[in-house]
């Protein structure tokens, strides 16, 4: 079984989050035995995405352009900025249809135990973005977990010093839950009741 390129594939698969050695082995065997076309497609998709996907200049989410589609849309309300942790959270808000402003995607959250502080999530860039003159309200839509609350707390301190209105999604969102798993009507209610 000491096949160099098979072993290399198993090791490379282990770099995926949540994939241990047994899963990586199962994935490699499956691809080589039953889905080589899928393996080649995945190889192409990985190579292309790592080359094409960058961060939106304005909101920091993933995009292939200088500005993402939302930021480039003149119909969005540029006076409101909604701060989320991940593109998945942003997508959940979009699907809820309850928000028409712009976003700032942190691409993470403050997590002291993992050594992730305010600088790692680009808090300074958010403050600069919020201070650009057009923003009148910042909605903090980080998760209602300990880390999401800590992130919201730290950000609200900095944002309030800028003089912008800072709100938080209403606690209609069940405590302890990750935003991306919340049902859409709950998100919509929480958006209306933001405080």
The residues that touch a second copy, with contacts defined as CB under 8 A, are 1-6, 8-9, 11-13, 15-18, 22-23, 25-33, 35-36, 38-50, 52-53, 61-64, 68-69, 86-88, 90-91, 94, 107-108, 180
- Between helix 21-34 and helix 36-52 the angle, nearest 10°, is 110
CB of 68 to a second copy, least distance (A): 8
Dihedral sign (CA 62, 65, 69, 74): positive
CB of 15 to a second copy, least distance (A): 4
Q: Which is nearer to Zn ion, 43 or 88 (CB)?
A: 88
Q: Which is nearer to a second copy, 24 or 191 (CB)?
A: 24
DSSP state string for 126-179: HHHHHTSSS--EEEE---SSHHHHHHHHHHHHHHHTTT-EEEE--TTSPTT--G
CB of 154 to a second copy, least distance (A): 20
CA distances from 175 to 8, 12, 82, 145 (A): 42, 36, 19, 7
- Say which entry of a second copy, Zn ion, none residue 195 contacts (CB below 5 to 8 A, set by partner kind): none
Taking CB under 5 A as the criterion, the residue among 9, 24, 25, 58 binding Zn ion is: 58
- Say which entry of Zn ion, a second copy, none residue 38 contacts (CB below 5 to 8 A, set by partner kind): a second copy
* Sequence-ordered strand ranges (E) for 52-127: 54-55, 62-63, 77-84, 101-105
Taking CB under 5 A as the criterion, the residue among 68, 83, 84, 155 binding Zn ion is: 68
Nearest one of 32, 64, 1, 2 to 13, comparing CA atoms: 32
Q: Which is nearer to Zn ion, 28 or 59 (CB)?
A: 59
CB of 94 to Zn ion, least distance (A): 12
Cα 1 to Cα 21: distance, rounded to the nearest angstrom: 15
Does 110 participate in binding Zn ion (rule CB under 5 A)?
no
Q: Which is nearer to a second copy, 68 or 139 (CB)?
A: 68
Q: Is residue 103 a contact partner of residue 90, using CB atoms and an 8 Å limit?
A: yes
DSSP state string for 12-26: HHTTSTT--HHHHHH
Does 96 participate in binding Zn ion (rule CB under 5 A)?
no
- Site residues (vs Zn ion, CB under 5 A): 56, 58-59, 68, 71
């Amino acid at each position: 079984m000491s096949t160099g390129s098979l072993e290399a594939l198993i090791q490379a698969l282990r770099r995926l989050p949540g994939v241990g050695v047994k899963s990586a082995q199962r994935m490699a065997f499956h691809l080589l035995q039953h889905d080589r076309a899928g393996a080649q497609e995945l190889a192409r998709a990985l190579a292309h995405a790592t080359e094409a996907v960058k961060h939106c200049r304005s909101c920091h989410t993933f995009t292939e352009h200088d500005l993402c589609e939302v930021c480039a849309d003149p119909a969005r309300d540029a006076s409101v900025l909604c701060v989320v942790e991940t593109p998945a959270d942003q997508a959940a808000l979009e699907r809820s249809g309850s928000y028409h402003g712009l976003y700032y995607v942190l691409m993470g959250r403050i997590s002291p135990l993992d050594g992730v502080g305010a600088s790692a999530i680009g808090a300074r860039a958010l403050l600069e973005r919020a201070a650009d003159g057009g923003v009148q309200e910042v909605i903090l839509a980080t998760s209602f977990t300990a880390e999401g609350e800590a992130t919201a707390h730290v950000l609200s301190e900095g944002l309030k010093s800028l003089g912008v209105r800072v709100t938080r999604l209403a606690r209609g969102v069940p405590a302890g839950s990750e935003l991306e798993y919340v049902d859409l009507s709950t998100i919509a209610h929480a958006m209306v009741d933001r405080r």
